[in-house]
Amino acid sequence: MNDVLTMMLIVGLILSFTILGLFIWGAKSGQFDDTKKMMDGLLFDSQDDLNDAINRERKAKEAMKPKTKSLEKE
Amino acid sequence: MSETIKCNHCHGTFNKKIMIEENALYFCCKGCQGVYHLLQDDGLESFYDKLGNKSIEPPLLTDFDSSKFDLESFEKRFVQTLDNDFKKVDLIIEGIHCAACVWLNEKVLYDMPGIIEANINFTNNKAKIVWDDSCVKLSSIIDKIRSIGYNAYAYDAKVADDKAIKARRDYFIRMMVAVFASMNIMMLSVAKYTGFFTGIDEETKHLIHIGEFILTTPVLFYSGWVFFKGAYYGMKNKIVNMDLLVSSGATASYIYSLYILFGGKGESYFDSVTMIITFVLVGKYLEVIGKKNAVDTLDKIKSQLPLEAVIIENNQKKVVALDELNVGDVIELRPGEKACVDGELLEEKATFDESSMSGESLYIYKNKGDKVFSGTINIDSLMHYKATSNFANSTLNSIVTMIEDSLSSKPNIEYTANNISRQFSTTILLLSFFTFIAWYFFEFKMGFVAQNASNFEQAFIVAVSVIVIACPCALALATPIASLVGISLLASKGLLFKEAKFIETIAKANKVVVDKTGTLTKGELKVVKAEFFDENSHKINLLHALLDSSTHPISLSVKHYIKEHYIVEHKQLLEVKNIQAKGVVATYKNEESKEYRLLGGNKELLKEFNIEFDLPISNTIYLFAVNEKVVAIFELEDEIKEDAKEFVQYIKQQGMEIIMLTGDNESVARKISQQVGITEFLYGINPIEKANYIKMLKEKGDIVVMVGDGVNDAVALSSSDVAIAMGNAADITISVSDIVLLNNKLKSLKEAFVISKRTYKFIKQNLAISLIYNIITVPLAMMGFVIPLVAALSMSLSSLIVVANSMRIKNEK
Closest Cα of chain B to A37: distance in Å?
Answer: 6
In this predicted structure, the answer to whether residue B408 has a pLDDT above a threshold of 70 is no
Q: Does A48 touch chain B (CB under 8 A)?
A: yes
pLDDT of residue B358: 62
Measured between beta carbons, the chain B residues lying within 8 angstroms of A56 are 110
pLDDT of residue B397: 64
Tell me which residue in A9, A48, A60 faces B207 most closely, judged by beta carbons.
A9
Is A46–B46 a contact, with Cβ atoms under 8 angstroms apart?
A: yes
In this predicted structure, the answer to whether residue B35 has a pLDDT above a threshold of 70 is yes
Is B99–A36 a contact, with Cβ atoms under 8 angstroms apart?
A: yes
User: Out of B173-182, B395-404, B525-534, which region has the weakest mean confidence (pLDDT)?
Assistant: B395-404
Mean pLDDT of chain B: 81
Say how many residues make up chain B: 813
**Mean of the pLDDT values across residues B152-169?**
73
Is B207–A23 a contact, with Cβ atoms under 8 angstroms apart?
A: no
Tell me which residue in A2, A32, A52 faces B204 most closely, judged by beta carbons.
A2
Is B46–A34 a contact, with Cβ atoms under 8 angstroms apart?
A: no
Q: Which residues pair with B708 in a beta bridge?
A: B725
Please give the backbone phi and psi of residue B345, each rounded to the nearest 5 degrees, phi first. -70, 130
Q: Does A29 touch chain B (CB under 8 A)?
A: no
Instruction: Please give the positions of B annotated as active site.
Output: 515
Instruction: Provide the pairing of β-strand B583-589 with B574-579.
Output: antiparallel
Tell me which residue in A6, A32, A59 faces B172 most closely, judged by beta carbons.
A32
| Sign of the torsion formed by the C-alpha atoms of B229, B235, B240 and B246 | positive
- The Cα–Cα gap between A52 and A58 comes to 10
pLDDT of residue B469: 82
Measured between beta carbons, the chain B residues lying within 8 angstroms of A5 are 204, 207
Q: Which residue has the higher pLDDT, B725 or B417?
A: B725
Q: CB–CB of B617/B640 below 8 Å?
A: no
Is B176–A9 a contact, with Cβ atoms under 8 angstroms apart?
A: no
Measured between beta carbons, the chain A residues lying within 8 angstroms of B84 are 63-64, 66-67
pLDDT of residue B596: 84
Q: Which long-range contacts (CB under 8 A, 24 or more apart) does B47-52 make?
A: B47/B100, B47/B103, B47/B104, B50/A43, B50/A44, B50/B99, B50/B100, B50/B103, B50/B104, B51/B11, B51/B98, B51/B100, B52/B100
Measured between beta carbons, the chain A residues lying within 8 angstroms of B214 are 13
pLDDT of residue B419: 78
Q: Does A51 touch chain B (CB under 8 A)?
A: no
Is A24–B172 a contact, with Cβ atoms under 8 angstroms apart?
A: no
Closest Cα of chain A to B253: distance in Å?
Answer: 23
Is A37–B110 a contact, with Cβ atoms under 8 angstroms apart?
A: no
**Mean of the pLDDT values across residues B166-186?**
90
Is B210–A32 a contact, with Cβ atoms under 8 angstroms apart?
A: no
**Mean of the pLDDT values across residues A16-36?**
86
Q: Which long-range contacts (CB under 8 A, 24 or more apart) does B419-424 make?
A: B420/B475, B420/B767, B420/B771, B421/B241, B421/B242, B421/B245, B421/B472, B421/B475, B421/B476, B422/B239, B422/B240, B422/B241, B424/B242, B424/B245, B424/B470, B424/B472, B424/B475, B424/B771, B424/B774
Is A28–B214 a contact, with Cβ atoms under 8 angstroms apart?
A: no
pLDDT bin (cut points 50, 70, 90) of residue B158 is low
Measured between beta carbons, the chain B residues lying within 8 angstroms of A44 are 50, 99, 103
- The Cα–Cα gap between B214 and B660 comes to 64
Most confidently predicted of B319-328, B571-580, B667-676:
B667-676
A-B Cβ pairs (cutoff 8 Å, strict): 75
The whole-model pTM stands at 0.70
In this predicted structure, the answer to whether residue B226 has a pLDDT above a threshold of 80 is yes
Tell me which residue in A5, A16, A33 faces B184 most closely, judged by beta carbons.
A16
Chain A residue with the nearest C-alpha to that of B50: A44
* B766-780 tens-digit pLDDT: 888 888 888 888 888
Q: Which residue has the higher pLDDT, B813 or B705?
A: B705
Q: Does A36 touch chain B (CB under 8 A)?
A: yes
Q: Which residue has the higher pLDDT, B164 or B214?
A: B214
Q: Does A4 touch chain B (CB under 8 A)?
A: no
Chain A residue with the nearest C-alpha to that of B175: A24
Is A34–B122 a contact, with Cβ atoms under 8 angstroms apart?
A: yes
How many C-beta atoms lie closer than 10 Å to residue B687's C-beta? Answer: 22
In this predicted structure, the answer to whether residue B538 has a pLDDT above a threshold of 50 is yes
**Mean of the pLDDT values across residues B543-551?**
81
Q: Which residue has the higher pLDDT, B450 or B715?
A: B715
* B86-124 tens-digit pLDDT: 888 888 888 887 788 888 898 889 888 888 888 888 777
Which residues of chain B have a Cβ shorter than 8 Å from any chain A Cβ? 46, 50, 84, 86, 98-99, 102-103, 107, 110, 116-117, 120-123, 132, 165, 169, 172-173, 176-177, 180, 184, 201, 203-204, 207, 210-211, 214-215
How many C-beta atoms lie closer than 10 Å to residue B800's C-beta? Answer: 13
In this predicted structure, the answer to whether residue B783 has a pLDDT above a threshold of 70 is yes
Is A43–B50 a contact, with Cβ atoms under 8 angstroms apart?
A: yes
- The Cα–Cα gap between B521 and A58 comes to 58
pLDDT of residue B652: 92
**Mean of the pLDDT values across residues B347-361?**
72
Q: Does A33 touch chain B (CB under 8 A)?
A: yes
Is B207–A56 a contact, with Cβ atoms under 8 angstroms apart?
A: no
User: Out of B79-88, B263-272, B439-448, B620-629, which region has the weakest mean confidence (pLDDT)?
Assistant: B439-448
Chain B residue with the nearest C-alpha to that of A66: B84
Tell me which residue in A6, A16, A41 faces B99 most closely, judged by beta carbons.
A41
Measured between beta carbons, the chain B residues lying within 8 angstroms of A13 are 211, 214-215
Q: Does A13 touch chain B (CB under 8 A)?
A: yes
In this predicted structure, the answer to whether residue B514 has a pLDDT above a threshold of 60 is yes
Angle formed by the axes of helices B202-218 and B159-198, to 10°? 170
- Which of B54, B105, B184 should be substituted to probe chain A, the one whose Cβ sees the most A Cβ atoms within 10 Å? B184
User: Out of B509-513, B517-521, B718-722, which region has the weakest mean confidence (pLDDT)?
Assistant: B517-521
Tell me which residue in B116, B169, B207 faces A27 most closely, judged by beta carbons.
B169
Is B204–A5 a contact, with Cβ atoms under 8 angstroms apart?
A: yes
- The Cα–Cα gap between B511 and B158 comes to 34
* B620-676 tens-digit pLDDT: 788 888 888 888 888 888 888 888 899 999 999 999 999 999 877 788 788 888 888
Fill in the DSSP letter of residue B339: P
Is B99–A33 a contact, with Cβ atoms under 8 angstroms apart?
A: no
pLDDT of residue B64: 57
- The Cα–Cα gap between B341 and B676 comes to 37
Q: Which residue has the higher pLDDT, B388 or B288?
A: B388
* B737-756 tens-digit pLDDT: 888 888 888 899 999 999 99
Chain B residue with the nearest C-alpha to that of A45: B50
Q: Does A71 touch chain B (CB under 8 A)?
A: no
